[in-house]
Structure 1
Amino acid sequence: MAAGGLRAEDNSLTRGLRSRHLTMISIGGAIGTGLFVASGETISTAGPGGALISYALIGGMVFLLMQSLGEMATYLPVAGSFGEYGSRFVSPSFGFAIGWNYWFNWAITVAAELSAAALVMKYWFPDLPGWMWSALFLAALVSLNALSARAYGESEFWFAAIKVTTVLLFLALGLAMILGIMGGTSPGLANWTAGEAPVVGGGTGVLAVFMVAGFSFQGTELVGVAAGEAEDPETSVPRAIRTIFWRILLFYIGAITVIGFLIPYTDPDLLRSGVSDISVSPFTLVFARAGIAAAAGVMNAVILTSVLSAGNSGLYASTRMLYAMAWRGQAPAFLRRTNRRGVPVPALVATTVVGGACLVSSLVGDGNAYVWLVNASGLAGFITWMGIAWSHLKFRRAFAAQGHDVSELPFRARLYPAGPVIALAMCAVVVFGQGRDALFGEHGFTALISSYIGLPLFLGVWGLHKLATRSPGVDPAAADLTRHTTRAALRD
């Protein structure tokens, strides 16, 4: 045994995540402030019908992406997930860029969520400095991640359970109010036919909400990263993947429908729901109208849970990606070390330092450096999704080129090859539509660059690695399809 508990003989992770952990991780990744707060703003922008169309389209896209990820993650459940798949099936340079893109995205997200947590705490403690809460929560999240993969999974299980319970209660109370059982008389279809409803702004409004909805669903791919530490990935990963569509249908489509029935899209509170004031969250409004005391306080606690859940998952995902890249020779070798509990502590520390530095940048001066960092990571999630779809297409091509039959796959993606092609195209629409306001509005060239800065950064990393290594694209007939045999593979 090496000093400090390092297992020099393998430095592998441990499979400590159970099926219930994996399921809740995938649920928790899809439920957050995008649903609890931003959903009201989407309805005010596109109307209830426009919001439903946008969320349904994005939900379908996520379903297709998770089918692709599920097929690869079940066949090859490793910590590097889509970074590993990109290197194996597309090119080493592509895998390098995807891995660092994903790590950067979540490292910045950890800082953003800690900043958001400090804002949430001001609801109860307005006179205490925000940096104190950010530091306290960062220490708590690092401690959870340092314990073990199971500790992370258990904490995320309960974080997600709180969010799921809140949504289910919201749907039940909302349905009772729609039927006139509580909260006064039934509103009927009045809010679906008033003014420009159900679809406000036509295709432009739907497109605007389409992009917001896409950001709301980011995090569902965490199941692919967590598969590398699942106890029985061939059973637990497909189980989590198969239920994603129904969760999206119930939580997002159901919530948007309830809000659309109960609150008109012209309600001034909905127009303000994009700000940090939890009192104008559509969930708060509905709970208050249902007669629940201290609705704002309750929802503020739920929002805090969502923020900490996102930070917890971000720290986990970025740490595992950095660890896996170290095994592929794409990051410093010391980052592949783990302690006796299978936690990649050096990768955790490195990610914490970067996330903490980004957090400090938000407190220095006017915070412009931090704003640019957040903007740079804004498109990273969609770039990752596009990488998943492309890797899946290349994976299947390699699988067929080497004489394999799809019957050998533990989990088979539905609608292949149309699924990944459609998902790839829809992600591209979101990516290039990101700067719509900057292009056609009055925000100027700086806003345009700020919107798209993440894309040239990704392409630059990809291109520089290609120039430095001269690594060719992967020949499908020679692609590495071996299972659990790489140095970065985990102990079964």
Structure 2
Amino acid sequence: MSSQQTPEGPAAAEAGPTPGPETGPDGAHHHLGHSLKPRHMTMLALGGAIGAGLFVSTGAGIHTAGPGILISYALASVLVLLVMRMLGEMAAAVPRSGSFSEYAGAAFGRWAGFTVGWMYWWMVTIVLAVEASGAAAIAHGWLPGVPIWLFSLVIMLVFTGANLLTVRSFGESEFWFATVKILAIVGFLVLGVLAIVGWLPNTEAPGLSNLTGHGGFLPNGWDGVIAGLLAVAFSFGGLEIVTIAAAESNDPARNVARAVRTAVWRILLFYIGSVAVIATLLPWDSDRLGSPYVSVLEDLDVPGAAHVMDVVVFTALLSALNSMLYGASRMAFSLSRRGEGPRPLSRVAGNGVPRIAVLASSAFGFLAALLNVWWPEQVFKHLLNSVGAMLLFVWFAIAASQLVLRRRLEREDPDRLLLRMWGFPYLTWFVLLALTAVSILMMFDADARPQLLSSVVVVAVVLGFALVREARRRDLRRRAARRF
């Protein structure tokens, strides 16, 4: 898959080209900055998936599946690990700001790149509004005299401004945000393990009573494990941002390969380790699982536990908002550069930032954040449902693209395979089947079904636009051929 080659054979006219140089639809160069360092990439990968969901939603998962939530997290972790390995393989071989959108286009045609790219853009702009509203709610608790909508507005303004600066400033801010989150998780794990073995003062080792008592390890049976899997599977969203950022690092191929190798297993440790500590120290049927981290820290006599966790969650929300806005703007830039979006979105300022793409992405975030404050049930709930299963579709596109592009790489330019997917093609097929199974499970889950159906509607609309665009392109090509 050489950067200058296109697919061979009769499908070449319909398939999208193998991702090439950063040029716009007018043929002009549209260069992003390249100032992200290896430490930025590593911390972006580590912090990308450690969002507020880990700190807030863990208790709901434990309450659903009991201690068996560890199986749910293990299954979800294996799936995410394999997806990231596949994405890392492609990103290390051909680092691009459009990442999986460009790979889908290269594998299946422009319609696929258009669909995956705008589907992802829609998802992250809705999610960043959730993060802004969550952070605003915490800030409102500290300063109740200031309305939540004003906090949402200020937060969006601050992070829009930050994303308009150099990409290095984004990398630095994410580095320190991720550092706070990681230090909080590591501290929690250390305290938790010490409490479990009985090495903290005034605490007794709980043994396995909370894991095996209260109805056993699977108090709600395997149905609970499956429900827990559906609840936690999408909590790993954000890992993919590091492959989007690869195009703006000083050594894209090696940096993304290194980040994927070193970060994924650590994130799995953070997630599974944290859940194991909570499930061991708190009964799964406790009424204190609404804020499980706070409850554990209070039991360990950590002073000001609630305030400490408020700061950590606030930081996690801001970090997620920052990275989501970055990811949305770069995806919009990439789509425009390939002629799949409004041309102004591909303009790059002198500091290497696609400012119009940042402003366009944040504008929808402003609107969605205010909708979440003003009409959370009437309007925003439907928007949120529309992205409930979107990450599942993105993962499916990643696996399907890797299945096609890996063979093309091995045939055309095997030296670019700096990072290889394990057990190819068998584990790739396993992921595709597993994602299909999760989709089917969502159809039979009353809580997940509306999210799946709403997401399918959005995907169908975007796909419809893509197919109409392709039909018009083919018609224009035929007319041009007749003239000559």
Q: TM-score, normalised by structure 2?
A: 0.88
Match of 2:45 in 1: 26
Q: Give the superposition deviation at 1:451.
A: 4.4
Q: Cα offset for 1:405?
A: 6.1
The answer as to whether partners of 1:13 and 1:343 remain within 8 angstroms in 2 is: yes
* 1:145 aligned residue (151, 159, 163): 163
Shift of 1:464: 3.5
| Equivalent-residue separation in structure 2 for 1:296 and 1:307 (angstroms) | 16
CA contact (8 A) 1:68 1:392 kept: yes
Find out whether 1:425 has 2:424 as its counterpart: no
Q: CA–CA distance in 1 between the matches of 2:74 and 2:267?
A: 9
- Counterpart of 1:129? 147
Q: Identify the residue that residue 453 of structure 2 maps to in structure 1.
A: 452
| Residues 1:178 and 2:188 are matched in the alignment | no
Distance 1:309 1:376, change over 3 A: same
Q: Distance in 2 between matches of 1:316 and 1:304?
A: 18
Aligned residue number for residue 357 of structure 1: 367
The aligned residue for residue 9 of structure 2 is: none
- For residues 198-255 of structure 1, give each alpha carbon's deviation from its aligned partner in whole angstroms, at most 9, with x where no partner exists: 1221221111111121121111111111111111122211111112342133201111
Provide closer, same or farther for how the CA distance between residues 340 and 216 of structure 1 changes in structure 2, counting only shifts above 3 A: same
Please list, as runs of the form range in 1=range in 2, the aligned pairs for 1:4-83 lying within 5 A after superposition.
10-48=29-67, 50-83=68-101
Partners of 2:93 and 2:416 within 8 A in 1: no
Which residue identity lines up with residue 104 of structure 1 in the other structure?
Answer: W
Tell me if structure 2 keeps the 8 A contact 1:42–1:209: yes
Kept after mapping to 1: 8 A contact 2:65/2:224: yes
Q: 1:350 to 1:386 in 2, by over 3 A?
A: same
CA contact (8 A) 1:214 1:430 kept: no
Within 5 Å, give how 1:324-473 maps onto structure 2. 324-365=334-375, 367-400=377-410, 403-404=411-412, 406-438=414-446, 448-449=449-450, 451-470=452-471
Equivalent residue, structure 2, for 1:299: 309
- State the one-letter code of the partner of 1:105: M
Offset at residue 406 of structure 1 (A): 3.9
Q: Note closer, same or farther for the CA distance 1:471–1:434 as it changes in structure 2 (3 Å cut).
A: farther
- CA deviation after TM superposition for structure 1 residue 15, in Å: 1.0
Superposed, which structure 2 residues align to 1:159-178 within 5 Å? 159-178=177-196
1:62 and 1:423 in contact (8 A); partners too: no
Q: Structure 1 CA distance, aligned partners of 2:208 and 2:469?
A: 61
Q: How many Å separate the matches in 1 of 2:329 and 2:257?
A: 24
For 1:399 and 1:472, locate their aligned partners in 2 and report how far apart those are by CA, in whole Å.
28
Matched-pair contact (CA < 8 Å) for 1:434–1:452: no
Q: Which residue of 2 aligns with 1:101?
A: 119
Q: Report deviation, 1:340.
A: 0.6
Cα distance change on mapping 1:20 and 1:366 into 2, 3 Å: closer
Partners of 2:304 and 2:416 lie apart in 1 by 55
CA distance in 1, matches of 2:396, 2:60: 27
Cα distance per residue 1:280-337 (max 9 Å; x no partner): x211111112211110000001000111111101100000000000011110111110
Measure, in 1, the Cα distance between the counterparts of 2:311 and 2:370: 25
SS at match of 2:142: coil
In 2, Cα distance between equivalents of 1:383 and 1:12: 29
| 1:422 partner letter | F
For structure 1, which segment, 378-387 or 450-459, has the greater mean C-alpha deviation from structure 2 after superposition?
450-459
Deviates more, 1:70-79 or 1:458-467: 458-467
Find the aligned partners of 1:427 and 1:140 in 2 and give their Cα distance: 37
Where does residue 284 of structure 2 map in the other structure?
265
SS state of the match for residue 269, structure 1?
Answer: coil
Give the stretch that moved more between structures: 165-174 or 424-433: 424-433
CA distance in 2, matches of 1:84, 1:27: 24
Partner in structure 2 of residue 488 of structure 1: none
Q: Residue 357 of structure 2: SS of its match in structure 1?
A: helix
Kindly report the root-mean-square deviation, in angstroms, between the aligned alpha carbons of the 2 structures.
Answer: 2.0
Equivalent residues of 2:214, 2:283 under 8 A apart: no
In structure 1, what is the Cα distance between the partners aligned to 2:265 and 2:357? 35
* Match for residue 257 of structure 2 among 211, 217, 238: 238
- Kept in 2, the 8 Å contact 1:11–1:337? The answer is yes
Question: Matched residues, percent identical?
Answer: 37
**Other structure's SS at 1:45 match:** helix
Which consecutive residues of structure 2, in runs of 5 or more, have no partner in the other structure?
Answer: 1-26, 475-484
Q: Is the 8 A contact 1:77 1:227 kept in 2?
A: yes
TM-score by length of 1: 0.87
Code of the residue aligned with 2:223 in structure 1: it is T
Match of 2:154, SS state, is helix
Q: Measure, in 2, the Cα distance between the counterparts of 1:201 and 1:410.
A: 44
- What amino acid is aligned across from residue 131 of structure 1 in structure 2? W
**Aligned residue in 2 for 1:481:** none
The residue that corresponds to 1:479 in the other structure is none
C-alpha change, 1:180 and 1:448, in structure 2 (3 Å) is closer
- How far did 1:398 drift? 2.4
CA drift of 1:407 comes to: 4.9
Distance 1:153 1:140 in 2: 16
Distance 1:257 1:366, change over 3 A: closer
Instruction: Work out which of the residue numbers 98, 121, 135 in structure 2 matches 1:117.
Output: 135
Following the alignment from structure 1 to structure 2, what is the Cα–Cα distance between the partners of residues 430 and 154? Answer: 37
Cα deviation, residue 448, structure 1 = 4.6
1:116–1:307: 8 Å Cα contact kept in structure 2? yes
Distance 2:266 2:99 in 1: 23
CA contact (8 A) 2:439 2:452 kept: no
| Equivalent residue for 2:294, pick from 248, 268, 284 | 284
Q: Is the 8 A contact 1:322 1:335 kept in 2?
A: yes
For residues 450 and 248 of structure 1, do their structure 2 counterparts lie closer, same or farther at Cα, with a shift above 3 Å needed? closer
| Secondary structure at the counterpart of residue 453 of structure 1 | helix
Q: Which runs of 5+ in 1 are unaligned?
A: 1-7, 274-280, 474-492
Query: What CA distance in whole angstroms lies between the structure 1 residues aligned with 2:176 and 2:442?
Result: 34
Q: Distance in 1 between matches of 2:121 and 2:158?
A: 20
Q: 1:31 to 1:90 in 2, by over 3 A?
A: same
Secondary structure of the structure 1 residue equivalent to 2:437? helix
- Give the number of equivalent residue pairs: 447
CA distance in 2, matches of 1:303, 1:367: 24
- Contact residue 82 and residue 388 of structure 1 kept, 8 A: yes
